[in-house]
Structure 1
């Protein structure tokens, strides 16, 4: 399967990302750009988006980009820095870029932005299996 098509297949098999309303804006080998809108049911007790929302968007972008090389890639370590609070109605864009790919490991950085403002920074490492996407 061509690498840029893999994220579309992954999204079609991912009910959680579909429930979040994540949409693929752009994908190519080693890079994926996703978008979503913060909904009321995603808010915490302080009226701000739960931290898991930006994390889930970034994690999805991370996974999609990591798999564009054609092999199943699974997360082994991730972290996120929440930089700005998010409100209902905010439209978020996550861009995942593979910074380095070794034989078995891939290193990703994901920036989550609201307009041009960086609101979260996610870092992740994937293990690249030998199983091909079909």
Structure 2
């Protein structure tokens, strides 16, 4: 069985989008993750604020890492978002995914996105948990 860190490092190595976002894993354990990301110019929309999809994507990665850190392959199947305030170029974001309930097949999460200790978005999500254990391959792809 692999550690949470080994699984998430493997996921990141094969996740071009999370790498493009500039996500850094700050903390990881089964059912919990804390990620850091900074808003770049190409992440802003016509109003010069962060595109909502950026916040959503950060939360999706946080949920995926937390769910998979248990050692079973898990995939996000539902995620809803409530935006609290706008975000701007250069702001550093933190995403914290916390598992609230886990059954054999499903896990439920609350994800808070915040900057400077102020929550800017809250998401609720659900992951499907497969029966497949993580197998980390020395060559990339094929999760």
Give the TM-score category using the shorter length: over 0.9
Q: Counterparts of 1:61-100 in structure 2 under 5 Å?
A: 61-100=62-101
Report deviation, 1:75.
1.3
Equivalent-residue separation in structure 2 for 1:66 and 1:72 (angstroms): 8
Structure 1 regions of 5+ residues with no counterpart?
A: none
Equivalent-residue separation in structure 2 for 1:41 and 1:55 (angstroms): 16
Residue number in structure 2 paired with 1:118: 119
Report deviation, 1:6.
1.2
Equivalent-residue separation in structure 2 for 1:120 and 1:99 (angstroms): 18
TM-score in terms of structure 1 length: 0.97
Find runs of 4+ consecutive structure 1 residues off by over 2 angstroms: none
Equivalent-residue separation in structure 2 for 1:120 and 1:91 (angstroms): 14
Equivalent-residue separation in structure 1 for 2:57 and 2:48 (angstroms): 18
Equivalent-residue separation in structure 2 for 1:75 and 1:20 (angstroms): 18
Contact 1:30–1:68 under 8 Å retained in 2 = yes
Report deviation, 1:115.
1.1
CA RMSD, 1 decimal: 0.8
Residue number in structure 1 paired with 2:48: 47
Structure 2 regions of 5+ residues with no counterpart?
A: 136-143
Report deviation, 1:81.
0.6
Report deviation, 1:29.
1.5
Equivalent-residue separation in structure 2 for 1:45 and 1:19 (angstroms): 20
> CA deviation digits over 1:78-119, x for unaligned, max 9?
101111100000000000011110010000110000110000
Verify: 1:22 aligned to 2:23, yes or no.
yes
Residue number in structure 2 paired with 1:36: 37
TM-score in terms of structure 2 length: 0.91
